[in-house]
Amino acid sequence: MNEPVFVAGIGAISAIGNNIAENLNALLSETTGIGKMTGLDSVHRDQLPVAEVKMDHQALASLAGLPEGISRTALLSAVAAREALGSAAIPGFGKLRSGFISANSVGGMDRTEKFFIPFMENNQRGRLRDVVHHECGTVTELVADKLGIKDQVTTISTACSSSANAIFFGARLIRNGLLDVVVAGGADSLTKFTLNGFNTLMILDSALCKPFDENRKGLNLGEGAGYVVLVSEKLAATLDQKPICRLSGYCNANDAYHQTASSPDGTGSFLAMSGALQKSGLNPADISYINLHGTGTQNNDIAEGTAIKRLFDPHYPPMSSTKAYTGHTLGGCGGLEAVYSILAIREGLIYPNLRLETPMKDLPFRVQTRLQRHAAVEHVLSNSFGFGGNCTSLIFSKA
């Protein structure tokens, strides 16, 4: 089966806002969420900027309607997924075949880190309740229970392409007639483990990141969550409100070049983008805007840029990386940036690539540096490329 899949609702929480309205307002006002570390307790507090959600654990738990002992990743997931489902306003949701396909890469690591501090001092200490929700799948199950979804609950963990792959998989479940509605996306929270790991790779910028700038020095880590509500064509026709857009194309590819680096010629990136175009039936010239993966590292930006040159040359659509707003939210970035791509269609927006000063000399195009309103945005390509060469591209189109 190959029926259309529509987006009926969206939800988000990030360093620039606790809901869709706040995220959109920050995008329009060109306000970054990256700054000095305040919530995460790290020895790098004064050296490495991060993009933290502006709520402590207690406040976030209250907003999510979950206990404080739950991992921050699950709390972020619950907030955004619940907003997405609420915005879809699907009558009789409980009677439909529904799924929750959610992604993350750190699971309950934040609670595990709290456990190990007293445990390492005395192995008779440490609260075991802090480690029972450690693994990635538990995050998904906790939120699925909160949403009342039981028919299909699946966790995707493929590094930075995770939540794009969750959306991809959710669409396939609908297209093949297995489900009527899927809440899909992902979340990740900041942890010391993640920060230290990326710092060891020497790809973190000690200043605010500058994706696709010639003098870029690395990425800034962030946290957040983004979810979309996917519905079948049959269900979309019964809803009181018109779907926001269609998920018209998607593709996953893996060049398996390196454990953490993209192939220099952007093989995986090219295969993902060209495959998504083929799935959608569109040509490169049909794309109105590209939401770049654009992490700000030397390797990622040149690999992605090289692939874009190969596919789009000589006519390039406007493009930018919104990670200059939110930081790199890892397992959550594909979902969060899918939401931003959908907003670009709904609101007619082309986002600026914040802080870009010097275009990359090895690329023949320049990324967008000014906010463009009232743009004719028909089709948006959203890129999410992860460790191990796992690359996924999604295409959203006007309904």
Residue with tokens 């200043």: 207
Beta bridge partners of 245: 7, 398
75: nearest Cα among 41, 111, 51, 42: 111
Q: What is the C-alpha separation between 226 and 339, in angstroms, rounded?
A: 6
Percent of all residues in the chain with a pLDDT value above 90, rounded to a whole number: 89
- Looking at residue 120, its pLDDT comes to 80
Q: What is the C-alpha separation between 390 and 397, in angstroms, rounded?
A: 24
Domain ranges within the chain, ordered by starting residue:
5-236, 248-398
When pLDDT is cut at 50, 70 and 90, the band that residue 383 belongs to is very high
Residue 31 has pLDDT above 80, yes or no: yes
209 tagged catalytic: no
pTM higher than 0.95: yes
251: nearest Cα among 227, 284, 273: 273
Concatenate the DSSP letters of all residues of 59-102 into one string. HHHHHHTS-TTS-HHHHHHHHHHHHHHHHH--TTGGGS-EEEEE
When pLDDT is cut at 50, 70 and 90, the band that residue 116 belongs to is confident
Superfamily of domain 248-398: Thiolase/Chalcone synthase (3.40.47.10)
Amino acid at 169: F
Catalytic residue among 136, 245, 251, 328: 328
Q: Does 314 sit behind a cis peptide bond, omega within 30 degrees of 0 on the bond before it?
A: yes
140 in Cβ contact with 155 (< 8 Å): yes
Using DSSP bridges, classify how beta strands 245-254 and 181-188 pair: parallel, antiparallel or unpaired: unpaired
When pLDDT is cut at 50, 70 and 90, the band that residue 260 belongs to is low
- Looking at residue 313, its pLDDT comes to 97
Tokens of 265: 């010629």
- Looking at residue 1, its pLDDT comes to 52
Q: CB burial class (10 A; 0-12, 13-18, 19+) of residue 361?
A: exposed
Beta bridge partners of 225: 13, 187
Q: What is the C-alpha separation between 357 and 371, in angstroms, rounded?
A: 15
- Within its chain, how far is the Cα of 167 from the centroid? 10
Fold agreement (5-236, 248-398): yes
For 257, the enclosing helix (H) or strand (E) is: none
Sign of dihedral through CA atoms 289, 292, 296, 301? negative
Fold classified for 5-236 = Peroxisomal Thiolase; Chain A, domain 1 (3.40.47)
44 tagged catalytic: no
What tens digit of pLDDT does each residue of 275-324 get?
Answer: 999 999 999 999 999 999 999 999 999 999 999 999 999 999 999 999 99
**What rounded mean pLDDT belongs to the chain?**
95
Amino acid at 205: D
Beta bridge partners of 328: 221
Q: Is 391 helix (H, G, I), strand (E, B) or coil?
A: strand
Catalytic residue among 57, 293, 333, 391: 293
Catalytic residue among 57, 133, 136, 160: 160
